[in-house]
Structures are given as structure tokens and as C-alpha cells.
């Protein structure tokens, strides 16, 4: 992680006094397993550049960490990208300049606007480049975004969100650091520590004089505070003075997904149905009897859940079920109400989602006669004897999150080792994306691929033939002629006596 600050023009050397760092000395500290270094790469009368460089100790990252045994821990990038973690080091190393404290003789330079070039990264953000620009351009910065060059051969790297930001503008050093201290955590949407009302105090202190006037004020506050109980406590002086502060998440979610719509047009749409789980799939109105001339809106996620439940209800054998990739347990929790079901294993590799699922299961288990799902921490890549020979296994919107070249090995585990009597698999239909007028190749940033109907049928028939299953292929959602359904579904039935 690094931040480079370059000042150009007369008086550039004053940057060192504001930073309270001697250009002849190397600032080198170790903080909580991170090495923080600051050095001057250029120090001339009209140009000064200082670089703050932070590197984690890979051993300290996992030593005594509560996430040390988490399946996804090894692919976590938070400790290697500019985030709230990095901001804590900016504050410790650059705190003098951030707070505008310096020797009395240099106080006039605190309010002196320098020609600054700020470069920081790598930044991993779910915001599109257009939204990133809309965060900084209102603060009078010219924004240039650069993506790193990699030698990887597989396609996933083409969709990487990691990038470097270059900001150019005439601004005081203190204000520049305040902008970064507020906006970097908002870009990353990640906090590495317990959050309380002190977060609001930070926004008040470092957002004073600019945050309330920012066009994306609501987005910044929501991503900075994250929790409704904190957001509701935001004082009026921090809220936008140009528009009514809203209660829904429409603007926040849409901008986070990279929409180019204006804040005003989004505010007009606040009463529209929300997308579930930040999924860019459109909500469709089903052909059902109207009540008071209004049709209920059912999201595609909801239609998937309903379709899977109906399929299972019609199966002759459904006593034991495995929901692979159960996430927050939204589908698993419904399965407990199906007659004849006796056991439900909700398998999820992400600890955070599994904890949410456990809470949902506990609430549902208060019902009489309800079969509460059993949460299991697991992954396709780790064989688990408990999943063998179940009546039903569900892979709902899961396979597209796996690298395509790994699928044969995963399917060997599913069909060859676990051998469920019925396997229900759903995945997006990439042909349908043009109906959504999407610019992206896939519907979610974590999708490794999305198949056409022909590709899905080819793979499904191949697996069915290889592992002695019959397969029926259908669709879920509103069908469009020549395109098909937004979701593809395959139902595999094991041919008893023929399997390996």
C-alpha cells in the first residue's frame, strides 16, 4: 500500500515542515505487524515528493488471528490494499499535517494551496471508475485511474477491481489528507475495527467545510458508517444541504454498482422495488391475479427460491437435503417447512454469511414442527463425508463463482463422491444480459463465467452422461423469445444401479 504526495511550484519545500518529517531521515516504524516507511524521493526548491509505503508481515497476518482457520482467509486482500487499515497509518505518520499542527513560523503554510499530485493504491473498490471520479472531481481534482499490468493468462484478472488513483489539484495539504481520510474508507466500504459514534466524530472533524456540500454526501456517509443506528445519528450539519436526506438505500446501492444516473433522478426512483443482495437482475411482475389493480413485484431471487421449493415438494425422496453455497440461509430456511423433510445441511464457506444464516435459522425454529437447517462451514474443495448419499443437493447460483477449469474436479466430487439422488443447479443465462442493457460481461463481479443456453445444456448433458444421471433443463423468470429465461436450471436424477 502506498501514498505519494508531490508538491510543485514555489514554496514546495514547506511540505516537509507541514509533515514534520526531515528529508534527511527515513521514517521507519512497525505498527501492529505492518512496516510503515516514509521517504522523500524528490526534494528540490520547486518540487517535493514524499512516499508513504506500508507492507504487512505475512506471518503476523495469521498469527493469533480469529480468521486463521477461515477457508477464504487465504484470498483476503484487505491487508494488501488501501483501506481503513491504511488510513490508520496515514493518521499516525501524517497526523501533524492532517490536523494542521506545525511550528508557529510555518502556520501560514497550513492554509497555502499547493499544486498537489496525490497517487495512492492499490485500491480494491466495488465502485466503478465513473463513480470514483464523481467522488473526487467535485473537490476540484483531476482524476486519472490506472490499472496494473499482469502476466496472468486467465480471464479473471481482466475484471479486477484493483487500481491506482492519481489526483491533481490546487489544494492545501491538510484538506487533501482530510479528503483521503474520509473517502478511502468510503471507496473500500470496509472497516477493520469496532464502530461506534466516534466514527461520526471523525466525519465531523475531517469532513468539515466540504462533506455537507458534496453531491454524493449520502453515499459517503452511508458507506462510512455502514450501520443504520449510526447513520440515523448523523447531525444535520453533516447532511447534504442541496437535497432531502433519504431513508432508503436506492442511491447508495445504485451508485455503488456504477450507475451513471444523476442523484436527482435516483431520488425520484426511491419508491421502486429494491434489488436483492445487490444483484443487478430486474424484478418482474408475475402473471397472477391482481389485488386492488396492483400486481405484487417478485424479484428473480424470490422466483428461484419458489421454483426450487416446488421442485423439491414434488420429489418422491426429499428427507435429506444439502444446500451448497447457502449464503445467508434465505433458501435453506424455507426448506424446513416442506413436508417429509427431516434434515437440511446449509453449507457455506464464508463465516460472516454463515453467522447471519444461524441467526435466521434460530428465528425460524420457533415455529412448531419446523425442521431447522444445520449450518456447516465447508467448501467444494474439501470433501465432507456428511454430504454423501443425500436425497437432494442444491447448487443455487453457485457454479458461476468457480473458475471454469476447476468445474470438472468439483463435479467429480458432487456426482462421483456425494452422489445425491437429485441435484438441482441454477446459473445465469448470459444471453439474457442484453435485456438488462448491461455493459458488463457478467452480472456480478465475482462471476468467473456465465453460460449461454447451449453451453449450459452441453455441460449438463456431459455430466449426466458421465455420472449416470438423467437431466431436465428449464428456465426461471420471464422468458423472452430468442433469449430464453434469465436463470437456467438443470435437475439431475441419479439412475439407481447404474452409478459408479
CATH code for the domain of 67: 3.30.1610.20
Count: domains in the chain: 2
Which among 164, 193, 222 is the end of a domain?
Answer: 193
Cα three-residue angle 9-12-14, rounded to 5 degrees: 150
Give yes or no: residues 338 and 481 share one domain: yes
Position 252 in a domain: no
* pLDDT confidence of residue 499: 55
* pLDDT confidence of residue 116: 93
Position 225 in a domain: no
Cα–Cα distance measured from residue 465 to residue 446, given in angstroms and rounded to the nearest whole number: 29
Position 188 in a domain: yes
Give yes or no: residues 183 and 318 share one domain: no
* pLDDT confidence of residue 490: 97
Answer whether the bond into residue 122 is a cis peptide, omega within 30°: yes
Give yes or no: residues 185 and 43 share one domain: yes
Position 17 in a domain: yes
- Per-residue model confidence as pLDDT tens for the chain (500 residues): 889 999 998 888 988 889 888 888 888 888 777 788 899 999 998 999 999 888 877 666 666 555 544 544 545 565 677 777 777 777 788 888 888 888 888 888 888 999 999 998 888 887 888 888 999 999 999 999 988 666 655 555 555 677 889 999 999 999 999 999 889 888 877 666 677 788 888 888 888 889 888 988 888 888 888 788 888 888 888 877 654 444 434 444 444 444 444 443 433 333 333 333 334 343 333 344 444 444 556 788 899 999 999 999 999 999 999 999 999 999 999 999 999 999 999 999 888 888 999 999 999 988 888 999 999 988 888 889 999 999 999 999 999 988 888 899 999 999 999 999 999 999 999 999 888 776 667 788 778 899 999 999 999 999 999 999 999 999 999 999 999 999 999 999 999 766 55
CATH number at residue 366: 3.40.50.150
Position 281 in a domain: no
Residue 96: how many other CB atoms lie within 10 Å? 15
Residue 281: how many other CB atoms lie within 10 Å? 24
Contacts of 154 (CB under 8 A, 6+ apart): 403, 405
Whole domain around residue 123: which residue ranges?
A: 2-193
Position 39 in a domain: yes
Position 86 in a domain: yes
Which among 169, 193, 217 is the end of a domain?
Answer: 193
Which among 136, 171, 193 is the end of a domain?
Answer: 193
Q: Sheet with 114-124: list strands edge to edge.
A: 27-31, 34-43, 47-56, 2-8, 114-124, 162-171, 142-146
Position 271 in a domain: no
Distance set, CA 343 to CA 52, 244, 376 (Å) = 54, 49, 13
Give yes or no: residues 305 and 159 share one domain: no
- The pTM score is 0.56
Amino acid at each position: 500500500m502506498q501514498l505519494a504526495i508531490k508538491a510543485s511550484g514555489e514554496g514546495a519545500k514547506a511540505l516537509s515542515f507541514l509533515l514534520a518529517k526531515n528529508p534527511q531521515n527515513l521514517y521507519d516504524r512497525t505498527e501492529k505487524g505492518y512496516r510503515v516507511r516514509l521517504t522523500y524521493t524528490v526534494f528540490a526548491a520547486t518540487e517535493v515528493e514524499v512516499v508513504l509505503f506500508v507492507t504487512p508481515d505475512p506471518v503476523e497476518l495469521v498469527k493469533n488471528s480469529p480468521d486463521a482457520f477461515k477457508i477464504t482467509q487465504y484470498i483476503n486482500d484487505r491487508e494488501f490494499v488501501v483501506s481503513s487499515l491504511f488510513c490508520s497509518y496515514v493518521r499516525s505518520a501524517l497526523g501533524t499535517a492532517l490536523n494542521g499542527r506545525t511550528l508557529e513560523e510555518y502556520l501560514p503554510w497550513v492554509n497555502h494551496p499547493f499544486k498537489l499530485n496525490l497517487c495512492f493504491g492499490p485500491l480494491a473498490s466495488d465502485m466503478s471508475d465513473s463513480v470514483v471520479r464523481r467522488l473526487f472531481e467535485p473537490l476540484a481534482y483531476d482524476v486519472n485511474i490506472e490499472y496494473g499490468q499482469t502476466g496472468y493468462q486467465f480471464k479473471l484478472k481482466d475484471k479486477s477491481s484493483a487500481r491506482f488513483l492519481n489526483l491533481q489539484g490546487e489544494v492545501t495539504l491538510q484538506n487533501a489528507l482530510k479528503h483521503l481520510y474520509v473517502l478511502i474508507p468510503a471507496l473500500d466500504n470496509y472497516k477493520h475495527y469496532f464502530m461506534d459514534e466516534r466514527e461520526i466524530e471523525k466525519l465531523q472533524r475531517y469532513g468539515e467545510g466540504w462533506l455537507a456540500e458534496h453531491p454524493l454526501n449520502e453515499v459517503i456517509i452511508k458507506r462510512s458508517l455502514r450501520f443504520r443506528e449510526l447513520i440515523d445519528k448523523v447531525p444535520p450539519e453533516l447532511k447534504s444541504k442541496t437535497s432531502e436526506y433519504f431513508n432508503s438505500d436506492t442511491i447508495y446501492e445504485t451508485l455503488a454498482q456504477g450507475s451513471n444516473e444523476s442523484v436527482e433522478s435516483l431520488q425520484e426512483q426511491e419508491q421502486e422495488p429494491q434489488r436483492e443482495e445487490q444483484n443487478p437482475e430486474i424484478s418482474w411482475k408475475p402473471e397472477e391475479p391482481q389485488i386492488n389493480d396492483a400486481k405484487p413485484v417478485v424479484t428473480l431471487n424470490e422466483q428461484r427460491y419458489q421454483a426450487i421449493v416446488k421442485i423439491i415438494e414434488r420429489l418422491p425422496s426429499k428427507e435429506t437435503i444439502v444446500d451448497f453455497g447457502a449464503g445467508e440461509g434465505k433458501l435453506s430456511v424455507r426448506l424446513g417447512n416442506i413436508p417429509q423433510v427431516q434434515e437440511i445441511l446449509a453449507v457455506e464457506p464464508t463465516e460472516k454469511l454463515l453467522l447471519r444464516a444461524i441467526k435466521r435459522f434460530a428465528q425460524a425454529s420457533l415455529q412448531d414442527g419446523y425442521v431447522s437447517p444445520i449450518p456447516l462451514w465447508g467448501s467444494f474443495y474439501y470433501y465432507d463425508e456428511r454430504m454423501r448419499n443425500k436425497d437432494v443437493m442444491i447448487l443455487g447460483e453457485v457454479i458461476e463463482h468457480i473458475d471454469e477449469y476447476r468445474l470438472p474436479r468439483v463435479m467429480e466430487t458432487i456426482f462421483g463422491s456425494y452422489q445425491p439422488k437429485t441435484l438441482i443447479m441454477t446459473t445465469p443465462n448470459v444471453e439474457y444480459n442484453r435485456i438488462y442493457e448491461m455493459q458488463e460481461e457478467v452480472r456480478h463481479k465475482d462471476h468467473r463465467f456465465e453460460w449461454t443456453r447451449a453451453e449450459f445444456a452441453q455441460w449438463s448433458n456431459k455430466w449426466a452422461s458421465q455420472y449416470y444421471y438423467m437431466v431436465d433443463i428449464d428456465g426461471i423468470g420471464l422468458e423472452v423469445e430468442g433469449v430464453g429465461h434469465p436463470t437456467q436450471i438443470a435437475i439431475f436424477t441419479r439412475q439407481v444401479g447404474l452409478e459408479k
